[in-house]
Amino acid sequence: MKRFWSANNFTLTALSMLMAVVIGGVLIIISDATVLAKFGYFTARPSDAFESSWLLVSTAYADLLKGALGDPAVFSAWFSGEATWQQAFAPISETLTYAAPLVFTGLSVALAFRGGLFNIGAQGQAVLGCIAAGVAGFTFGLPIALNLIVAVVAGVLGGALWGFIPGLLKARTGAHEVITTIMLNYTAGLFLAWLVIQQGIQAPGRSDAISKAVAESAQLPSPGGVLRVHLGIILAVLTTAGVAWLLNKSAFGFEIRAVGANPHAAKTAGISVAKTYVLLMAVAGGLAGFGGATQVLGTAHALTPSVAGNIGFDGLLVALLGRTRPWGTLFAALLFGALRAGGNRMQSFSGISLELVTVLQALIVIFIAAPALVKAIFRLRASRATGLGASLAKG
């Protein structure tokens, strides 16, 4: 217990989530007119206000959990033969479906960050991944496994290209990657919107902005039915392992970490900082592109202007929540996926807007980004690693 109350990362993350849930609860209460009315005669009968508030908030969060992990009622129905196992596992399937692309975009941001680069461009890179994977998916008509592999590789390369450009610009001209990647986000989004209404791309006979469907052989395999989960989540776990290996065990990872921590010392030791930046941005872009590819080949199966959703920007938050560590990023993505899946159920059952999930996500990240705040609120003991005093002493 003593260790729990020292300011380590796990404790900070857990308490940040707790704070977000509490504030979210307050938001739920004040946005509900009926419950709010009961606060009108709070002094006369406070129990009314408390009871209805508790009921509202606990139902909402219960729906969130049921939508993310599973509903006990459905599980018992499955055991008594009144529901199928698919129905029981549908919530988890939703969580994993939403999480898969976020793992990739989160890894993209996290890896770049370890090399000292702030990749705001995961969104644009994911969009390029969507485009390349989608177009490859409905164009080539290759045999079954090959078609999928080609489409995934196309997505990765598309994202890599979109990462390579800002990397090259930074290495050659010193252009800051934050500026260039933001600009390339717009470029990618607008290019997608233009592309899906072009002849040869747009689905025949449709007047709205949607492309032809990806060939079935190029889609990521999925159990089907109510279970939307697909191979993407397995690829995401494997990729996380790959990125962890790359970062900690490979020569390139050593270069990334050295350049990220002290580019001057890296340069002095003979590491080419420029080359590392270019390669790193291409790899980070490729990861985000992979995320885009899983989105199109696993879930959407066709290109629309909003096919990539917000996966790139959410990837930023996921990487931050995962503290730019590969496995941490994976778990953060799962949490975001769970919030999103649970939010859907909360919206339809409790009538609470899906935007509350966005608020929760944002609050968690804000608290994590401002650890001093959480430490002050919970009066955590300063852990030695984060002590400020040590850095002030000088001979």
Partner 1 sequence: MANDHIDITVEPGEVHALLGENGAGKSTLMNQLYGLLQPDEGQIVVNDEPRVFKSPRDAIAAGIGMVHQHFMLVPVFTVAENIALGAEEVRGGPLGWLDRRRSRRDVIETSERYGLPVDPDALIEDLPVGAQQRVEIVKALTREVDLLILDEPTAVLTPQETEELLTVMRSLTAMGKSIVFITHKLKEVKAIADRITVIRRGQVVGTASPDTSEEELAALMVGRAVSLEVEKAPAEPGDSILKISGLVVDDDRGVRAVDGVDLEVRAGEVLGIAGVQGNGQTELVEAVMGLREVRAGAVHLEGEDLVGRSTKRILRSGVGYVPEDRSHDGVVKEFSVAENLILDMYDRAPFGNAFRIDGDSVASNAKHRVEQFDIRCQSPASLVGALSGGNQQKVVVAREMSRPLRLFIASQPTRGVDVGSIEFIHSRIIHERDQGTAVLVVSSELDEVVGLADRIAVMYRGRVLAIVSPDTPREEIGLLMAGITGDTPEGAK
Residues that bind partner 1 (CB under 8 A): 249-252, 254-255, 257-258, 261-262, 264-272, 392-395
Nearer to partner 1 among residue 379 and residue 384 (C-beta): 384
Nearer to partner 1 among residue 81 and residue 389 (C-beta): 389
| Closest separation in Å from C-beta 275 to partner 1 | 10
Nearer to partner 1 among residue 37 and residue 265 (C-beta): 265
| Closest separation in Å from C-beta 59 to partner 1 | 47
Residues 6+ apart with CB under 8 A from 46: none
Nearer to partner 1 among residue 73 and residue 238 (C-beta): 238
| Closest separation in Å from C-beta 249 to partner 1 | 6
From residue 367, how far is each of 13, 299, 337, 372 by CA, in Å? 8, 32, 19, 9
Question: How many residues are listed for the chain in this entry?
Answer: 395
- DSSP assignment, residue 302? B
Start-to-end C-alpha separation, the chain: 37
Write the burial class of residue 82 (CB in 10 Å: 0-12 exposed, 13-18 middle, 19+ buried).
exposed
| Closest separation in Å from C-beta 323 to partner 1 | 14
Nearer to partner 1 among residue 143 and residue 389 (C-beta): 389
| Closest separation in Å from C-beta 52 to partner 1 | 52
